[in-house]
Chains A and B, each alone.
Chain A
Amino acid sequence: EAQVTQNPRYLITVTGKKLTVTCSQNMNHEYMSWYRQDPGLGLRQIYYSMNVEVTDKGDVPEGYKVSRKEKRNFPLILESPSPNQTSLYFCASTASGGWDTGELFFGEGSRLTVL
């Protein structure tokens, strides 16, 4: 089954404790992206990757890091989480490599709470 898998789905952590949210897709997609979703603000892009070893900032990259060492994986790293990073996070992918607008396939989301 074609899917985007995120882990963990739910996480409660404390300020400053480094964490990684993993994202993996099994569709051989070139393009992957991370979003956060907050009430009243909608989906905002954090980082995106056009292909392996190619990443770029989205609209709200502060406090986040990403890497793309393999085509299927695109982890989101919070080096020192703060309460304002409490949010619902989504990973997404598409086959187009970003040069066209094919549909985005989203993961199920990771709800992160930073105390």
Chain B
Amino acid sequence: SQKIEQNSEALNIQEGKTATLTCNYTNYSPAYLQWYRQDPGRGPVFLLLIRENEKEKRKERLKVTFDTTLKQSLFHITASQPADSATYLCALTTGTASKLTFGTGTRLQVTL
């Protein structure tokens, strides 16, 4: 069956460092991969979308890579700040929003 795995353990890093979060998938051939940010008790907020034919996407301090051979996406936040502390969700689809499947998310904690 299709499976999306994100590290369930929280990632703790120091302010200013680069945070790297991982999204692995199995039995899946996604055409699109998205990353969302979710704060406690709030709805997820879209961050980035990357297509299967794109290796890398950047937006300000964010960078996403998509390796269809390794079946993995990496999400990087450079120069991390305490305000970046949140849970980050990856979501994959083979091509339609109705088939978008979410991972369980990884909580990032950035400390001073």
Contact = CB atoms under 8 A, between A and B. Distances in A.
Interface stretch (B9-17, B42-50, B53-61, B62-70): B42-50
B42 A108 contact: yes
A115 interface: no
Contacts of A41: 104
Contacts of B41: 88, 109, 111
B34 A103 contact: yes
Contacts of B103: 42
A107 B104 contact: no
B97 to A, nearest CB: 5
B96 interface: yes
B44 A43 contact: yes
B98 A48 contact: yes
B108 interface: no
Nearest to A4: B43
B21 interface: no
7 contacts: A31-B97, A41-B104, A42-B89, A43-B102, A100-B96, A100-B97, A101-B93
A2 to B, nearest CB: 12
Contact of A31 (B34, B36, B46, B98): B98
Most buried by A among B32, B45, B96: B96
B100 interface: yes
A35 B100 CA distance: 11
A100 B96 CA distance: 5
